[in-house]
Amino acid sequence: MKIKSVRATTLMLILAGTVQFSMAQNTSNVDATSPTKPIDSASKVRPVFDVRNCIKPEYPRAALRWEYQGISKIRVSTAVDGKVEKLELVRSSGWKILDQTIALSLHNCQIIEPQNTKLSQIIQYVWKIDGITDIPPKLLEETCQPTRFMRLATLADGGLGTVVGVYVPADGKPQRVSLEWSSGKKEFDDDSVEYLQSCKFQPATNNGKNVDGSISFRLFPQNANDR
């Protein structure tokens, strides 16, 4: 695989809406936009988390090599001193290395002035490699072998799920299928990986030409009681 020379930039946005004492759903350079003021259900303005005091994460070299992009959503909880106390991954970017890079940058960061209570807020990070204009690979679902337990996630599915990444060369045959985030059950993880290994893909394209590319998927048990 030829490694492209690119300039990597990560954009960070803060989502509206804070949740106090939330429960976990599931256990380069960075530019920070000006945060918007979150508003709770009672229309009271609460303090806004400010990540500018945190360590700026660099785009991981491995992620650049494989052209990993995506959006990480993390619930950040603070102690009364305003430092980050707990991090919960709400939605993966699709790539563990990107999610962990964000978590490391936020660890123990003074993200807000001391308060008289603990707070939590969901922060969204958009990982984007400048100059990458490829249309990503497309799963040809009709070519896949049936699964034993799992199904592909829909837009309506909340939560982390089992996350699997696929590297698709220009010939459309998946070459590297990686378990990015585990469901906690080996049979579910194995089924998810084997399912995507059995599939064919329409390769990524750039200016009408097939190119190498990466894509990730969330999967959930077919039986909702197994979630």
Return per-residue pLDDT of the chain as tens, 227 residues. Answer: 333 323 333 333 333 222 222 223 232 333 333 233 333 434 456 677 888 888 888 999 999 999 999 999 999 999 999 899 999 999 999 999 999 999 999 988 988 888 888 999 999 999 999 878 789 999 999 999 999 999 999 988 988 899 999 999 999 889 899 999 999 999 999 999 999 999 999 999 998 899 999 999 999 999 877 76
Q: By C-alpha distance, which of 145, 141, 149 is closest to 190?
A: 149
| pLDDT given for residue 227 in this prediction | 67
Record the pTM.
Answer: 0.78
Residue 207 lies in a domain: yes
Does residue 143 share a domain with residue 114?
no
CB 84, CB 111: distance < 8 Å: yes
Number of domains in the chain: 2
Residue 2 lies in a domain: no
Among residues 105, 130, 155, the one where a domain terminates is 130
| pLDDT given for residue 91 in this prediction | 94
Does residue 123 share a domain with residue 205?
no
What is the distance between the alpha carbons of residues 98 and 60, in angstroms, rounded to a whole number?
Answer: 7
Which residue range(s) make up the domain with 61?
7-130
Does residue 72 share a domain with residue 30?
yes
Does residue 146 share a domain with residue 109?
no
Does residue 151 share a domain with residue 108?
no
